[in-house]
Every structure is written in structure tokens, then in C-alpha cells.
Amino acid sequence: MPTACHRCRCFQPRGTPEFAAISAVALRHNEISRILSTTPNQFAPMHRRQPNGDVDPRPWCQGFYAAMRLRLSAWAPLLDASNVNHRLLLPILLHCRDHQAGPLLGPPRTGRETRASLRNAHLDVPAAVEAMRQYWMPIRYARAR
């Protein structure tokens, strides 16, 4: 049954699947924010495992990219390949697919080194997320003033 929030009087449809999903996302977002603010070296994305036990970073990376697309213009500086900070997105975007299910960054080079690099790119995601947080921090605080 919907109830009014005691702070802002907005309606909160508690008990619905939608509320549960939104609440879970908000709680996870707050936990990630807390970890990145207090102990960034402990941040670890929740990657799925493939049946053989290998890490499958694709769903997490695709979810990150889906969130980016909500305000893609704001991400333009990091999406610009000529920007030195573009490299921060690479461990994530390497695992993303475009709207036609092809590799977002184009077809990878062939060879054993490329396969090994792709297989291990997820290991760079935590450091990339922290580096992106550091990159955006001055911009976020400047906008808040």
C-alpha cells in the first residue's frame, strides 16, 4: 500500500516489486559510494560466473554502459578516444555490445594476446572505477556549488 514519505511527502509504493527493485538499486548504489569514499581498494564489481567457473564481466559492464547511456552527453569527454582519460572506460567497454550485438569498440584484433587481454580485462575494472571517480570528483563538486 502506498505511504507518504515523512521527509518529502512523496508516495512510496512499499511492498511492490518495483519498489523492491528500486530500493535494492539505491541501497547497492549507496554501498558502492560508501566503499569508494572510505576504502576504494575494497571495491569489487559483482561479476557473474560462467558454468566453467570463469568470470563473466559482460552483464556488469553492459549495465554500467546502460547507466552511462542515460546521460551519454555527460560522458562525452571519456568517450572521446583522443582524450587520454578515455582509457579509463576501456576495461568496461571492451565487454559491451552495441545495439546490433557486436563489440561496442569494434571487432577485436585476432591472436592469443588479444584473447588473454580480453579474458583478464575485468581485473582492471575496480581500478578504472576508482580512477573515474577521481576524474569526475572535481567536476561533480563544481556543479554542486
Residue 118 CA neighbour count, 13 Å, CB half: 17
State the pLDDT confidence band at 118, using cuts at 50, 70 and 90: confident
Long-range contacts, 49-57 (Cβ 8 Å, 24+): 54/119, 55/122, 57/95, 57/121, 57/122, 57/125
Query: What is the mean pLDDT of the segment spanning 33-53?
Result: 89
Question: pTM of the full predicted structure?
Answer: 0.74
What are the respective helix, strand and coil percentages of the chain, to the nearest 5? Answer: 60, 10, 30
Residue 114 pLDDT class (50, 70, 90 cuts): low
